[in-house]
Structure 1
């Protein structure tokens, strides 16, 4: 098994933790994700994770329902911490040392985000889960993932989703939708392919961080991604469109 990355960052959506539930956290799904992350850690790869909160509360929907957007976003950030702590618990039950760092101070349950401390945890083989987004409203957890990946000098950003890559149209609505194997940052931005939001794509482009989009629901895909197997869609500066 060849490991092609030394330090990776996974972006997990809150929805990924729901499984087939309509709302909340499916313990079986969290346990399965934790087991796969544990398998990756066992190879010596340094793992950081950014989690979303859409399974509990989404700021944009709260704002659409009449809430102040900043307030709604802060509530969404707190929801991500709930997910981060849940994932931490599952990992630690498997014997994987894990730290949660939050961009909003809540020292009773998590460390504050400190870049150098996060890197030191990674160097010691601990999984670091970043919660509370970037700590700022109006920014998505996709942007946070790109930001943290740049800050910790991650080799790659993995976006774990419910689809097996990036398509030229919605594969759920168009049975003839074509999946891309590789894309440039520029093409993603120009075609508004919504791999991640435009700020996240621009951050990755500026810092030359490749993005790999893959299907989280397929057992073993996290380890396959880290070992460099061709899965999903890769977005990068030198990629051909294919």
Structure 2
């Protein structure tokens, strides 16, 4: 008799049962210079679906820089608070776009806004949001914290802690954190892991300083990986592929 085929390797189990994925608004632009690129939004939604199919509970926070960035508006003479509120509204638009893509893939999704706008999304109520996650729904948190002067990075860290997430996953254009910009320096070195304090001291620009300090104080890991690699979200969640983890 011919030898039996070796048993197939069982994929590693996900490292965390509940996670928050933070992506920038610019990630939804694709190759265009502004707004939403539907094929790119759908591709990211498919990445989320792969992880959702593993039984992982998922929250999302999406920036608004593809539509309007508060700091940029303030730099052009607009009042900072007004510019930040405009940026928050941009995140709601992105969240609704992602909701449409996810529900097109059969995943029940709730957009939850820190600024009440009942006609298009739910107001943020922590216990209700946790119940959505327990029922297998994806929660997309929009409008930041609802306050000006706070970035979506800080909002993502805050929501991850409130929801009891095991980690924040930060999807970027590169496969981790480097000691310099790998797009301009071919000799840039990628960190496998780095501490919160090193990120702050070396100004590595993973997330803003407030978000890093908040994660550090609550020992919340931040995992940085590339959004460009197909299937990377699921791989990294199983501890595979290339990524950088920020931890104590």
| Aligned with 1:27 (options 28, 38, 41) | 38
> 1:209 pairs with 200, 207, 220, which one?
220
SS at match of 1:234: strand
Match of 1:57 in 2: 68
1:113 is aligned to 124
1:35-184 matched pairs, under 5 angstroms? 35-184=46-195
SS at match of 2:68: coil
Unaligned runs of 5+ in 2: 1-10
- Measure the CA separation in 2 of the matches of 1:118 and 1:111: 9
Counterpart Cα distance in 2 of 1:109 and 1:50: 17
Deviation digits for residues 73-132 of structure 1 (CA, Å, limit 9, x no counterpart): 000000000000000001011110000000001010000011111111000000000000
- TM (norm. structure 2) is 0.94
- For the residues of structure 1 that align with 2:197 and 2:212, how far apart are their CA atoms? 9
| Alignment RMSD (CA, Å) | 0.8
Name the SS of the counterpart of 1:213 in structure 2.
strand
| Structure 1 residue 133 displacement after superposition | 0.6
User: Post-superposition shift, 1:231?
Assistant: 2.1
TM-score (norm 1): 0.96
Report the 3-state secondary structure (helix = DSSP H, G, I; strand = E; otherwise coil) of the residue aligned with 1:129.
strand
Structure number, greater radius of gyration: 2
State whether residues 57 and 133 of structure 2, in contact with CA within 8 Å, keep that contact through their aligned partners in structure 1. Answer: yes
Q: How many residues align?
A: 237
Output the CA distance in 1 between the equivalents of 2:33 and 2:206: 23
Give 1:48 deviation, angstroms: 0.3
